[in-house]
Structure 1
Amino acid sequence: MKIAIISIIVVLSLINGINPKEEHLTMNKEQHIGVFENNLDIGEPLQSGSVFYDTENQEYTINGSGINMWAESDQFQYLFKSIQGDFILRAHIEFVGDGVDPHRKIGWIVRNNLSGNSPHVNASIHGDGLTSLQYRKQAGGITEEVTSTDTAPDVVQFERKGNSYYMSTAKFGKPFITVKLEDLNLNNEVFVGLYICSHNPEVMETAKFTNVRIIKPAAPNFIPYQDYIGSRMEQLNVETGHRKILFESAHSIQAPNWVNNDKELVYNSNGLLYRYRFDSGKISQINTGFAVQNNNDHVFSFDETILGISHHNQDDNGRSSIYIMDPKGDSISKKITKDGVGASYLHGISPDNKTLIFTANRKGKYDIYGVDIENRKEFQLTDTKDLDDGSEFSPDGKFIYFNSNRTGNMQLWRMKSDGSNPKQLTFDTNYKDWFPHISPDGKWIVFISFPPDINFGDHPFYKQCVLRLMPIQGGEPKIIAYLYGGQGSINVPSWSKDSKHLAFVSNSN
């Protein structure tokens, strides 16, 4: 296996005009390097670099040397894979140690080939904090750069759209600062990856990369709710921002609930509900009987004795109707909403298990309604000309949190459980805020924020979004995750019972 891999790289190297050395190839069949295909010293630095991948934490440690990455040629340690077309690359990055040269560099780099003088473009973070988009237009050409106003970021995103490249950087928790490079004609088939260059041939530097994501976005002309791309179920440590991919699927999976004393996740896909076990990684389908066209509005009661689902009822022209069932999946016990009244999308169950709250199409518009589980009587909680959605009870049952665009932009709100005294909580102009979820300890609100260019009242698939965290009483939100996702990422309560973790879905083709 090792001979075959080395042979392939040798052939590639000869095609691209370089003279490979076997000792530069540090991968072997016992070594796994995550989402990447291989690693290599580019440009034959004096000291050979290496890569270590921590499978448990999904963390990459890269060691490398090299004279520089500038002028007509480059030297660095490269962890890479091949890719075609448009992409989004993202990682949290950090140098290990104080370092020697202030011009040491780490980041993402995209290259036509594996020679030292290849045309390329790279998101470069220097040891002294300089942040720049560097590029070489042709083989052996002079390196040029576009400098960012950001300094010493620890989150780097690098995106290609056609012949345009976007470097977005931030200190974790802050919005991205973006610079753009247009009309750079690299190959459709390129190598992409992480790198380190010590800027000193006698020195070996080290860097760590976490939350590494290589994303293939949806086609620009995809049709929502008809064309889907793949999904990643992720687990997030709310305090540290560290993320793990639990599993991936070519299907569209959506809306994870954390249940059974934090031992399982329940999510939906293709109209059905599934259960994922943390201990074994096994996935099983939940029996929902005749309800096989469920959308992503499914909710467990606080004590997990009730599972509420929203199923597109064929007896009511396919409109979404609300049912309750045994969480184990044995039977659907009761249909809650009536036929002929309009679509209903479940979002919350009261702590006393007596009331469901949901978004309802009534009187020609969408508002938040409640319904008594026992007698099925509905009552209206909000009444605005625009959209109120995403309602959820606080753990003490005193308040309902929701999102509304009643002021012209989608923001978070809170009202008393009877619908009185609405209070606005977010006041964003650069985001559209959806789906507030209250931590089980009652201290925090997590929510998803969409970019400002989406349609009024929409929460679409496949956008560059952020998850944000805010104290329950309000205040300045902090970004806790940058993701490519949107619809289905975090539509339902997604906190672990210990209020330390979240589950959410991101997307990649």
Structure 2
Amino acid sequence: MKSEICIWRTDGTVTRRLSCAGRIEAPNWCADGAILVNAGGRLWRLALGAERLEPVETGFATRLNNDHAPAPDGSVIAISDKVETGASCIYLVPMAGGAPRRLTRQVPSWMHGWSPDGRQVVHAGARDGGPVGIYLTDVETGTERRVTAGFDHADGPDFSADGQWIWFNGERDGTVDIWRIRPDGTGAERMSGGPGVDWFPHPSPDGRHVVHLRYPPGTKGHPADLDVALWLMPQSGGAGREIVQMRGGQGSINVPSWAPDSSAFAFVRYPA
């Protein structure tokens, strides 16, 4: 198969940043313009202006899934790996690469985003046989707190830049829509609707937009390699619009990927 790392810009244009063989997933856009991705259980960096991926050292963590994100201050990257625990666990590694430091005490935990002040990570987790939900973990203490309740499945969380909301995809009664909720677990609001199956919302840093993935009606879970679309909606609420059609799905835009100035975001597609 082939993967294409692409850039969508606010003028509506899409450019291909890199094309390579194999499955590349989960682009993050770093402050220095580099893009982080996952491939083959490892973390890779596409430096600004570079034409090839370079590996990021993650020590013993060599069975990474595609859930990772750099801290707001650019000092560390939060990764998700299962070598040590047998299930997805969140670790911190230096931005330049290095030995992992375990963060989450309970597993499975899937990394998704950071609070704007860098003091907490927001992630998905499954506890005691219950459904997947949204959790906050304190970076200094490792203390975990559940945010969501009453969902059959809640996943793909990401903070708004002002720290006031956590956006996520929530399933109730077989319908998956985009939701937002206060970090203290109050004020849950459904922000999308319709027959499509909506996953992985990411608010832009300027507070204007949210990009998310839309699967075809009836899709179960968040599979890869389907005909999907990227949608853009206002953070303040209101109707969204389709901006990209592509072959993609899981791994296309499951982690935060906006440019710091909100002028563009990165995604991955898988042409036939």
* Range of TM-score over shorter length: over 0.9
User: What letter matches 1:336 in structure 2?
Assistant: L
User: What residue is the counterpart of 2:49 in the other structure?
Assistant: 279
Deviations 1:401-445 (A, max 9, x none): 11101253110111111111101100121x111111011111110
Aligned: 1:387 with 2:153: yes
User: What residue is the counterpart of 1:230 in the other structure?
Assistant: 2
User: What residue is the counterpart of 2:252 in the other structure?
Assistant: 489
Structure-to-structure mapping, 1:133-148, within 5 angstroms: none
Stretches of 4+ aligned residues off by more than 3 angstroms: none
Taking the aligned partners of 1:476 and 1:277, their CA distance within structure 2 comes to 35
Contact preservation (8 Å) 1:367, 1:384: no
User: What residue is the counterpart of 1:323 in the other structure?
Assistant: 91
Taking the aligned partners of 1:233 and 1:355, their CA distance within structure 2 comes to 28
Higher relative contact order (CA 8 A, sep 6+): 2
Taking the aligned partners of 2:49 and 2:2, their CA distance within structure 1 comes to 24
User: What residue is the counterpart of 1:132 in the other structure?
Assistant: none
User: What residue is the counterpart of 2:103 in the other structure?
Assistant: 336
Structure-to-structure mapping, 1:47-446, within 5 angstroms: 229-240=1-12, 242-261=13-32, 263-313=33-83, 315-316=84-85, 318-332=86-100, 334-338=101-105, 341-364=106-129, 365-429=131-195, 431-446=196-211
Shift of 1:303: 2.3
Taking the aligned partners of 2:27 and 2:8, their CA distance within structure 1 comes to 12
Partner-residue secondary structure (3-state), 1:260: coil
Contact preservation (8 Å) 1:257, 1:265: yes
Instruction: Decide whether aligned partners of structure 1 residues 362 and 508 sit closer, same or farther in structure 2, where only a CA change above 3 A counts.
Output: same
Contact preservation (8 Å) 2:88, 2:110: yes
Taking the aligned partners of 2:245 and 2:207, their CA distance within structure 1 comes to 24
Taking the aligned partners of 2:271 and 2:233, their CA distance within structure 1 comes to 28
Taking the aligned partners of 1:445 and 1:485, their CA distance within structure 2 comes to 19
Shift of 1:302: 2.1
Larger radius of gyration: 1
CA RMSD of aligned residues (A): 1.4
Contact preservation (8 Å) 1:238, 1:480: no
Deviations 1:87-142 (A, max 9, x none): xxxxxxxxxxxxxxxxxxxxxxxxxxxxxxxxxxxxxxxxxxxxxxxxxxxxxxxx
Shift of 1:372: 1.3
Shift of 1:251: 1.1
Partner-residue secondary structure (3-state), 1:319: coil
Instruction: Decide whether aligned partners of structure 1 residues 278 and 373 sit closer, same or farther in structure 2, where only a CA change above 3 A counts.
Output: closer
Deviations 1:342-386 (A, max 9, x none): 311011111122111111011312111111111111111112251
Contact preservation (8 Å) 1:401, 1:413: yes
Shift of 1:466: 0.5
Shift of 1:306: 2.5
Taking the aligned partners of 2:128 and 2:191, their CA distance within structure 1 comes to 27
Deviations 1:59-95 (A, max 9, x none): xxxxxxxxxxxxxxxxxxxxxxxxxxxxxxxxxxxxx
Taking the aligned partners of 1:230 and 1:376, their CA distance within structure 2 comes to 38
Contact preservation (8 Å) 2:151, 2:171: no
Contact preservation (8 Å) 1:268, 1:296: yes
Taking the aligned partners of 1:363 and 1:406, their CA distance within structure 2 comes to 20
Partner-residue secondary structure (3-state), 2:88: strand
Taking the aligned partners of 2:17 and 2:120, their CA distance within structure 1 comes to 33
User: What residue is the counterpart of 2:238 in the other structure?
Assistant: 475
Structure 2 residue runs without a partner (length 5+): none
Partner-residue secondary structure (3-state), 1:410: strand
Shift of 1:390: 0.7
Taking the aligned partners of 2:64 and 2:109, their CA distance within structure 1 comes to 12
User: What letter matches 2:104 in structure 1?
Assistant: T
User: What residue is the counterpart of 1:169 in the other structure?
Assistant: none
User: What residue is the counterpart of 2:216 in the other structure?
Assistant: 451
Shift of 1:336: 1.0
